[in-house]
Structure 1
Amino acid sequence: MVTIVEKTAGLAAFVRTVDSGSFSGAGRILGASPSAVSKSVARLEKRLGVRLLQRSTRTLSLTAEGSVYYDFVAPLLQGIESAEDVVQSAGSAKGLLRITVPVLVGRSLVSGWVKEFSERSPNIKLEVTVTDRNVDMIREGYDLAIRIGNLDDTGLIGRHLADIPYLLVASPAYLASRGHPESVADLQDHACLRYLLAGRPYAFIFADGRSYLPDGCFDTDDAVTLIQAAMEGVGIVQLPAFALRTEIERGTLTRVLPNDLMATTSIHALHAFGRQVPMRVRLFIDYLMETSERLL
């Protein structure tokens, strides 16, 4: 009879190899050599009687059987790891906290978070992925996601952190050349930079409910690129205020239509733990709740 210990042997090696994309990456996470991880996965494949990973000299990829197996065992492994975290006290909290954040948050806020939170909880290691892609938190092994805007019905648990205003800005050089728009209607005579959300341009939305979708001279789904383009004098852009604070203070960007207030949007922290939230996650959410108004 195969014991539960024998059945679970190699699971961590397999899941971490898929998560990191390599045996060496899994080894760094598990504290083992790449060869030890590779052998552990091979023993798992031998016991199951199927190949889970396709190996080449440069890449690893899941087989069809490996993909199905991963979808089943990855959440189970995360649950086992989380079970120990749930019973930790705040003072003893430790471990890896994997977070995904949008590009603008990563550019503007993460360095401050890392310094302050690390001083509070020195035994918790932060691993932050900066991307505007909505990751699959369970499949990809993330503990927490920071999201801007309306939340989709994904089954994730959300904590509201703050409401953040948008601003319209342009470079002083652009405004000197093209003039300052005096009304929303004047925007049609200006070059506008548009943020692409799910492949569609995001409208300029004002606090009083007005909405204007300009003919964009430049569209991209990379907010940092939009900021750079605006600073180069390409046109007028709409972005969250916290992402523009430094440029406005330095004078490299100037507010446009400052008397026409823009709409606000929400920023949330999301997790998939239900009511049994690991202590390391709870501590970081509590930190964000305390500091979000100041940092944003």
Structure 2
Amino acid sequence: MISLPQIQAFIEVARSGSFAAASQHLSLPRSTVSARVRALEERLNVRLLHRTTRRVTLTDEGRSYMEQCEAAIDVLTRAESQLTRSNELAGTIRLTVPLDMPKPALARLLGAFIERHPGIRVETVVSDELLNLVAHNIDLALRGGSPGTLGVVARKLGEGGLAFHASPEYIKTRRVGKTLVHLHEHAIYDPAQRLRKRARSSVQPAPLSTRNFELAKTFALQGRGIALLPESLCAEEVRSGALARLSSSHRVPALPLYLVMPSRAHVPARVRALVDFITDPGNVGSLL
């Protein structure tokens, strides 16, 4: 016989990646959560979760079962909502964003979404790793430059402009003109790898190297070279005079931003609501 408490415990463990976190979310003892998942596996006669001392992950059978359970639960939730005439959405959304995503803008965006849907909880995973969305139970991902691996559904939100930035001290010391022409005379930090191959091969090898925007910006602030960075990331430093934005004769492709979802036929209503909120023209511009 189907046991909804067992299924609920299994889904929460799979989403959070641990029995301890699941027990907190469900307000249940960890032993109860563990017993319910174990009972579910015994009843189905299949292992749903890989258990290690550090993390719990889904087996192939567990991943398939979870997708079907989530679809069924969302159908039940919508049916109950219609009967009670309630439009309130509820549940957890797992969102992953890169380390360099502007945090104040993201916080304002997610905060406004939660105010509109107080029954929803957004769990944000900050990582530059291209996580497997299904294996890590990720509902949505914001990714810059590339949507990532095959087998995902990606929607381009727009493009953010990139520009060369340097400290006033560096500009004065190295006598950099109003327009940056000779890249080979400088150490150029290009964490997004947006310089064309020919231009990239001509620049000075930088003694320090990084793929992280914030660290590249710090190098520029310290006068260690010129950083090719999103204009939005350096807007405050440009306003304060800590950095100067340099024009250049070198064309640099803009940096695209994608909203990515697992390739599933069924998308929970709460996830659709967040997708619609992020892609609203009045909101998406804050992330670019």
Q: TM-score, normalised by structure 2?
A: 0.80
**SS of equivalent to 1:218:** coil
* Counterparts of residues 114-133 of structure 1 (less than 5 Å): 114-133=110-129
> Which of 93, 101, 105 is equivalent to 2:101?
105
Q: TM-score, normalised by structure 1?
A: 0.78
Quote how far apart the aligned CAs of 1:25 are. 0.5
How many residue pairs are counted as aligned between the two chains?
279
Aligned to 1:236: 226
The 1-side partners of 2:199 and 2:127 are apart by 27
Quote how far apart the aligned CAs of 1:135 are. 1.4
Match status 1:251 vs 2:241: yes
Match status 1:70 vs 2:62: yes
> Which of 142, 162, 169 is equivalent to 1:166?
162
Structure 1 stretches lacking a partner, 5+ long: none
Quote how far apart the aligned CAs of 1:149 are. 1.8
The 1-side partners of 2:131 and 2:206 are apart by 28
Amino acid of the residue matched to residue 231 of structure 1? Answer: L
Is contact 2:166–2:226 with CA below 8 Å preserved after alignment? yes
Aligned to 2:253: 263
Change in 2 beyond 3 A, CA 1:249/1:51: closer
Change in 2 beyond 3 A, CA 1:138/1:256: same
Change in 2 beyond 3 A, CA 1:256/1:54: same
Q: Deviations over 1:194-220 (max 9, x none)?
A: 31x6xxxx1425xxx985343333222
Match status 1:178 vs 2:178: no
Change in 2 beyond 3 A, CA 1:139/1:163: same
Change in 2 beyond 3 A, CA 1:74/1:175: farther
Amino acid of the residue matched to residue 165 of structure 1? Answer: G
Quote how far apart the aligned CAs of 1:44 are. 4.0
**SS of equivalent to 2:223:** coil
Change in 2 beyond 3 A, CA 1:137/1:295: closer
> Which of 195, 210, 218 is equivalent to 1:204?
195
Structure 2 stretches lacking a partner, 5+ long: none
**SS of equivalent to 1:41:** helix
Is contact 2:47–2:62 with CA below 8 Å preserved after alignment? no
Aligned to 1:20: 16
**SS of equivalent to 1:224:** helix
Q: Pairwise CA RMSD of aligned residues?
A: 3.3
